[in-house]
Structure 1
């Protein structure tokens, strides 16, 4: 992600400066926050990327941060940093949705590798979201009859069975089927069925 930003959250100024310098020297755009509360205030406008946060902070700790992000439907992947005594807390953070945790002290490459993986995940999730939205938009352009034919195809019914159920001719089913394929941008029947299942699952993932 060329425009990805690493959102760095830590209440320790020395840590913010050291990690901020490392990340910028490694070619990343970085935004630093002195607390999770400050980050949450601007979450709606936060640029795509990932979050690197300390797990133990005053007021809003890493666990509460993850829960607040989830409540606000944020899809930014989160990496938590933890001291040795805070490993159980980091595990709890993973259960709350963090993608990784790093136990201090960690080397530079461990952090950079975790960020690369998090940004790859963010890019993948964005592609999936885009595909999901595209499929839904295409489905909305189908006529009621075309939706009925699609339902039959997804159920695995042959054209003749669909025609019988809908009380139309097999030739008419073929016409609707061709229209559905075109409107959905499906390259094959299996592609069409996959699209239908993606939307009916209620989740792009």
Structure 2
């Protein structure tokens, strides 16, 4: 089973690359952002709670995020593996993911960090906002999400680096070139 984390700030291209990776490796994509949006769209009690947090640019508490993620993994017992996108965002979440996968006799094989600078991120998200009008892409929320990533979330990387699981890929360039670099990393696993 191939489980890996696709890591990067908002706008790094995780969603775009994930779709290509799903097609190539037949993996299940678990995006916490997609899970949150589905709960929000369905107006579930959890969705209402998540909506208020996201609209304010805050991270959803670990216990909610982890429970949703575990539920998604459990829905797919025959999966060849999982792409975790947007998770983990804290060291506590990373440790919880390791513990959960270990209980399933599995683990994270590799963490791939898409490296994209803030200027490029802002440009990409502004363009995406024109096309999708995602509430979390509005300028006031966007800067808060990018700041959150660079001040808090990025600190998860040393956790995986200490396990020799971290690989970095340049996230700026042509989509297919970035995809080829991602495949080069994943093919080793």
TM-score scaled by structure 1? 0.36
Question: Of the two structures, which has the highest relative contact order with CA contacts closer than 8 Å and spacing of 6 or more?
Answer: 2
Tell me which structure has the larger Cα radius of gyration.
Answer: 1
